[in-house]
Amino acid sequence: MYCLGTGDCFVLKFQVAGARRFTIMIDCGSCQGTPLDFKPYIDDLAAYVDNHLDLLVVTHEHNDHVNGFAKCEGIFNNFTIDEAWFAWTEDPNDPGGHAAQLREKRGKMKRALDNAINAMQAQTNIFKASPSNDYYKPAIDASNDAFLNGLNTLKDINLPLEGADAGASFLEC
């Protein structure tokens, strides 16, 4: 198991008499930060599986399960994958299909989260600007900042920019 932040990556290697017979990778986790932050994990993974997977299983399309592929596309370009199984089988271009409904719902969720973050940021800015000798003000400031960081991370991981869930914007390591 590769713990990559908020998502995991599982590799199962089946061997007979010490020789690799079959390698399965399930998902590719998620990592906060840049592709360079993620690269050491994926380099280690690539070495562990000798850049080859007999089977890749992607359980579902949430970023905490697939973000590694986008962050380190350059490394995965060097992999050979004999077979891949994906849970997402619907045609994403079908305008009346389930995928379109999910994109619409995701858009509404993203706008709601953006509104909540903006409102929280506005209140935090007002609170920080207010003069106070309150002993607890620095702790409250730090808590507000941590909460906002958490909301932004949640948004980045689960509600990517438009087109990102379709794999339109990949970053190379």
How confident is the model over 63-85, as pLDDT tens digits?
A: 777 877 877 777 778 889 999 88
Decide: 38 and 7 in contact? Cβ < 8 Å.
no
97-114 residue pLDDT tens: 777 777 788 788 888 888
pLDDT-based confidence at residue 165 (cuts at 50, 70, 90): very low
In sequence order, the 6+-apart residues with CB closer than 8 A to the CB of 72 are 35, 38, 39, 42, 172, 173
Please tell me the predicted confidence (pLDDT) of residue 54.
94
Pure H helices in 81-136: 98-129
Domain ranges for the chain: 2-86, 98-162
* The predicted structure's pLDDT at residue 31: 66
Question: Residue 97: which residues within 8 A CB-CB, separation 6 or more?
Answer: 90, 91
The CA–CA distances, whole Å, from 161 to 73, 85, 87, 106, 168 equal 18, 25, 22, 10, 10
pLDDT digits (tens, 9 = 90+) for 22-31: 999 998 877 6
- The torsion angle over the Cα atoms of residues 5, 2, 80 and 169, rounded to 10 degrees, is 0
Residue 108 tokens, joined = 């509404």
Task: List Cβ neighbours of 170 (8 Å cut-off, separation of 6 or more).
Answer: 70, 73
The mean pLDDT of 151-158, rounded to a whole number, is: 73
Quote helix, strand, coil % in the chain, to nearest 5.
50, 20, 30
